[in-house]
Structure 1
């Protein structure tokens, strides 16, 4: 029987569902990619009214203080002076579960920071892991669908208890079986750091590659690392199950109570810096979100300290309505060709326009601190400010309205080639398994044992042998011992 053809919602056949269309190989993504835009826009509108991802969140205010000179790499104003402080709002979250889920679950954690700078808001939207499951945004809705609570089973499948309304291991592992690039992040997630003991006791990462530009116009690619000053602490699966039963809001409770009693959590920000010219010939794709930059190649450079010292007064107004957009840049900081980042530049503000309305930047938690935003946007849902009763709302005009500066926020990025859906340009070590194997071998023996047990406990519940075998092959490709131990553990559990 011939396979059915995947189509867009207008019925046109989809030529490539693995790679977004870009301007040349490795270039920025194209707005003309109907399939990508359609997938992301529909995905953002699948839940009302909570966030489709990162729904369960906690937040707090604080400040970021510059401790080290980085002016040789970026001319951004809020990083220009040692000792300078900038107000911040940080929102923590789980990724896959709903607003009513528990905090102590195995899931990546969102780590989103809004810097209220003198040049406008700068949003750094990351996670507590330096990598992710997929490298192209066209696969992101599919990945999240595989992690969401499952619809009723197909009629021909026999279940003792129908899995309707729960996260389904068959779906989770089937997606990973067809996505070998996820092996690195799966190893992170199923390891000890998959369940942080609290939000205070985990690191945060920008995860993506970003661009910095200095005063001379030189471009650098950077990765952000927020290292917790409280020390990294995690929960075992057994500890997490007990804690989630006692207090589903455990991490929010911990964060709120710590700040209220004057124990202000803090993180030290480090960056890895790569001169832009090095990226093309680096041994793997510098813009691949499934990979890290080894510290021996690009060591950590300290930038400053982030401190949380004030709880929100109204959780709904400030935490639930907080809107972070990775395209909120300030002069000296900009995007890279990281495909996942490029997709998020559209997806995040589009989600806010759907969920909170076109005026989502007006609530206090999202509004710039330095000055009222000056643009020609008018009206729309919840237009609560005056929005210029006598001002012209078009540009250019002859009435002294706000005008463009002519100064780009970041350095230009050269692109070549033909438009179309391209795989990323090949590099010498662009495989999906090496870094997962390196991470496994870095783990102490007891952590390896827990990692294997965590994977086997979930993978053994999968009903299809071929899906299990595909996943075992990924672990074996990462490290033969890793694959063998998981296979043995899965076999033992399935025989019981």
Structure 2
């Protein structure tokens, strides 16, 4: 027998086909609450989209630890044999909710692990570095990726103007404009925590760590021309690929790796190990295999489980913590604050964001408070300390102190910083074909950009490698020559013949 349709208050609905009117041709009546409820809910079906990473695709899965890094961390989810349920969300950065999936852009790689000690979120990208290293420049950078306030169109001029004035972006720009800047789907990308995080053990020892997720599906990418064909057929190619693969039982997997740096080494490296525009050389700090991440279950409801998913690097568990990485420090605040704005004060009470372990705290009231007051187990225990058996602090979760030196000041992050060496090392790994596609992709992205900005950017490429700057200049000029060429018609052919 079919379930009976009801109002949101539970009353049965007798007729879902016709509104209540005064006669067959008469006006509607205000008493038709069923109609009013339906229209009111429709008006409120959409919530604010994410300011960045708005377009995304996700699935549930499992993290299985097969290696042993127990000497570095007490985190239960990282102990040998641990299996932790998790959620992954992939995304583009710049596009809105309706953007095409197959666009050249960085891909977000956000993971939520439901550990027995609370949720651990790792919010990174498919690249190990980023465009800026100081968070005060992050809003400016994002403005260049979004729509121009007057034209309401994306602005290549703004993008390249900012990058050409920010040489620290060179490493990420080179990756973005390379083959890996346009992957065919979420399964064929690596993921990186990107930031430097820290691990700490029962002995109170801290180690710096980089997290890597290496795709077991291999790397596959589109050229710009191939992507244009795909977008012409579907704007949902990533969603189709990820959802379809999991539905068919082809569960994507990633090998989980870490780079470990002893705490004191951070004071000795020739580069700043907390600089988000830099990688740690694998020869100095090799990648250690520790496990496998597998995605094996599609969400039952995309909105409830993916759109409502809230990831924040503020979510760490005992044994895992932060570092002096400036961008990480800012994101610890900004991500959680964005969720409070977008989803409500108690956004972590939404089922997909709820920890799977017991939760006890003294937060109260406000939006999304659906847990019956406060989570202390006693209505008299609504403050701390109290005499009513309310939850108390746990000293075992106290991490070792963070080694921080220096006076508080606004340090110039470009002073004494080599922004060309690591992009040069990457460029020198490219073969001739990869370099030609890099030049071509950059030239295509520079269409309509003023010559002085193009030249300013090319001077940065020169400092990376002479071939880099020369190759981009040649590709830009070739595009101009093609654009200025006189189209051949029957009339011009006849004139030429005469």
Fold conserved between structures, TM > 0.5: yes
Corresponding residue to 2:467 among 461, 470, 481? 481
Normalised to the residue count of structure 1, the TM-score between the two structures is: 0.85
Shift of 1:416: 3.0
- Match 1:320 to one of 307, 312, 322: 307
After the TM superposition, which residues 428-467 of structure 1 pair with which residues of structure 2 at under 5 Å, given as runs?
A: 430-463=417-450, 465-467=451-453
- 2:370 match: 384
1:208-227 matched pairs, under 5 angstroms = 208-227=195-214
Displacement, 1:424? Answer: 4.6
Report how far residue 408 of structure 1 moved.
4.5
- For residues 47-126 of structure 1, the aligned pairs below 5 Å read 49-80=48-79, 82-126=80-124
Query: Where does residue 323 of structure 2 map in the other structure?
Result: 336
What SS does the aligned partner of 2:256 have? strand
Q: Report the CA distance between 1:357 and its aligned residue.
A: 0.8
User: Could you tell me whether the CA contact under 8 Å between 2:134 and 2:413 is conserved in 1?
Assistant: no
Cα deviation per residue 1:383-408 (whole Å; 9 max; x = unaligned)? 11113472421111111111111344
Judging changes above 3 Å, is the alpha-carbon distance between structure 1 residues 352 and 85 closer, same or farther for their aligned structure 2 residues? same
Q: 3-state DSSP class of the match of 1:361?
A: helix
What residue is the counterpart of 2:338 in the other structure? 351
Relative distance call for 1:409 and 1:493 in structure 2 (3 A) is farther
Cα distance in 1 between the residues matched to 2:227 and 2:406 = 50
Tell me, in whole angstroms, the C-alpha distance in 2 between the residues paired with 1:263 and 1:178. Answer: 45
Query: Does the aligned pair in 2 maintain the 1:65–1:83 contact within 8 Å?
Result: yes
- 2:349 match: secondary structure: coil
SS at match of 1:279: helix
Is 1:238 paired with 2:225?
yes
Higher RCO (CA-CA < 8 Å; seq separation 6+): 1
**Distance (Å, rounded) in 2 between the aligned partners of 1:72 and 1:227:** 23
CA offset digits 1:463-483 (Å, max 9, x no partner): 2x2211110011111111111
CA contact (8 A) 1:329 1:409 kept: no
Equivalent residues of 2:209, 2:260 under 8 A apart = yes
- Equivalent of 1:127 in 125, 128, 133: 125
Contact 2:90 2:186 in 1 (8 A): yes
* 1:234-383 aligned within 5 A: 234-371=221-358, 373-383=359-369
1:396 equivalent to 2:385? Answer yes
What is the CA–CA distance in structure 2 between the aligned matches of 1:246 and 1:424, rounded to whole Å?
45
Unaligned runs of 5+ in 2: 1-45, 485-498
1-structure distance, mates of 2:401, 2:218: 39
Q: Per the alignment, do residues 235 and 318 of structure 1 end up closer, same or farther by CA in structure 2, a change over 3 Å counting?
A: same
Aligned length: 434
For residues 439 and 124 of structure 2, the distance between their equivalents in structure 1, rounded to whole angstroms, comes to 27
Residues 409 and 480 of structure 1, relative CA distance in 2, 3 Å threshold = farther
Measure, in 1, the Cα distance between the counterparts of 2:477 and 2:230. Answer: 30
Once residues 445 and 348 of structure 2 are traced to their aligned partners in structure 1, the CA distance between those partners, rounded to angstroms, is 41
Counterpart position of 1:412: 401
- 1:460 is displaced (CA, Å) by 4.0
The alpha-carbon deviation at position 488 of structure 1 amounts to 1.7
Tell me, yes or no, if the aligned pair for 2:93 and 2:105 is still in contact at 8 Å: yes
| Deviation (angstroms), 1:117 | 0.1
Q: Does the 8 Å CA contact 1:332/1:409 hold for their aligned counterparts?
A: no
Find the residue that maps to 2:472 and give its secondary structure. Answer: helix
Could you say which structure has the larger radius of gyration?
A: 2
Q: Which consecutive residues of structure 1, in runs of 5 or more, have no partner in the other structure?
A: 1-46, 153-163
Looking at structure 2, the residues matched to 297 and 382 of structure 1 have their Cα atoms a distance apart, in angstroms, of: 48
Partner of 1:298, secondary structure, is coil
With normalisation by structure 2, the TM-score equals: 0.85
Moved more, 415-424 or 106-115: 415-424
Alpha-carbon RMSD across the aligned residues, in angstroms, is: 1.5
Answer whether contact 2:70 2:78 (CA < 8 A) is retained. Answer: yes
Report Cα offsets for 1:405-443 as digits up to 9, x if no partner.
13445321132332221235977xx31111111111101
Distance 1:473 1:250 in 2: 37
Give structure 1 regions of 4+ aligned residues with deviation exceeding 6 angstroms. none
> C-alpha distance in 1, partners of 2:109/2:149?
29
Find the aligned partners of 1:67 and 1:261 in 2 and give their Cα distance. Answer: 26
Preserved CA contact (<8 Å) 1:137 1:340: yes
